Structure 1
Amino acid sequence: MNINATLFLQAIVFAILVWFTMRFVWPPITKALDERAAKISEGLAAADRAKSELAQANRKVEEQLASTRDEATRRLADAERLAQSLVEDARGKASAEAAKILAQAESDAQQALTKARDTLRDQVAALAVKGAEQILQREVNPAVHADLLNRLKAEL
């Protein structure tokens, strides 16, 4: 066989192979590569979106944490103010009760003092009558001399 004919025949077979590859093999390969590139770009875009959503979610969480901390601080301050006002109210009630008890005690003491003075006056009057009886050596009738004894009590 002739080398030229072999080369020509190989060139034709090569051309058929190139045409067959370009027509039937190359399009599915390029289509698969394009699909893969599209999937990769979609995946990268989704990753970027997820990253930005994660950053946004982190910001929201931080904001919520800050607002929760602020609210907790505010509630603690409110509770502290309420406790302070309750303590002040209790102090006010206690001092009012103490003043009431003190006034009652002073009143009771004044009544006891008045009663003791009256009892002492009666005893002094009885002693004065007994003393007068012994001085006069006769019996002094308290009923007869009631006016005199009442004036004596008033002077004492």
Structure 2
Amino acid sequence: MNLLIPDLGYFVWGFVAFVVVFLVLKKFAWKPIIKSLNDREQNIADAIASAEKVKAEMAQLQSENENLLAQAREERAQLLKEARETKDKIINEAKEQAKQEAGKIIADAQQAINAQKMAALTDVKNEVGKMVIEVSEKVLKQQLAGQAKQEEYINSLVQSIKLN
């Protein structure tokens, strides 16, 4: 049981040793320990503030990136729309130009056909006229084979001209 209850001398010497160690620690170790704890606390607070600041900057950058991305998508949509409109315009202009060219070609072809038709009709008329003259000449030569018949025919023509 002596081990559980110390003597008064041991108690006093233990208390004196505790007070001496406490005073030495208070004089030499307590201030540096408190200072290092305060420094560490300040560093942790600064790190938390820095992290919050970085977090806020990241949120702002993310917001700006989203805005830029939205603008880029909008510009892309606008460019695609303009490209489609330009494509449609070019196609429509090409169709109109093709229609005009086709109409022009058809009109030119019809004019050429009409010109060739008129030339052919003129040629046919000329040929028919030549043939009529040749036939008439042959017929008249046979009918007016004699001098008397020729004079008689000429007189009848002169009289018909005078009457008209």
Asked whether 1:125 is paired with 2:133, we answer no
Structure 1 residue 40, shift from structure 2 partner: 1.2
Secondary structure of 1:102 counterpart: helix
Counterpart CA distance in 2 for 1:7 and 1:108 is: 140
- Give the AA of the match of 2:46: E
- Give the AA of the match of 2:33: I
- Normalising by structure 2, what TM-score? 0.74
Q: Out of 9, 17, 24, which is 2:21 matched to?
A: 17
Unmatched segments (≥5 aa) in structure 1:
140-156
- Normalising by structure 1, what TM-score? 0.77
- Superposed counterparts of 1:48-87, under 5 Å: 48-87=52-91
Name the residue aligned to 1:96: 100
- Give the AA of the match of 2:86: L
Structure showing greater relative contact order (alpha-carbon pairs closer than 8 Å, 6 or more residues apart)? 1
Structure 1 residue 136, shift from structure 2 partner: 3.0
Unmatched segments (≥5 aa) in structure 2:
1-6, 144-164
Seq. identity, %? 25
Structure number with bigger Rg: 2
Kindly tell me the number of residue pairs found equivalent between the two proteins.
137
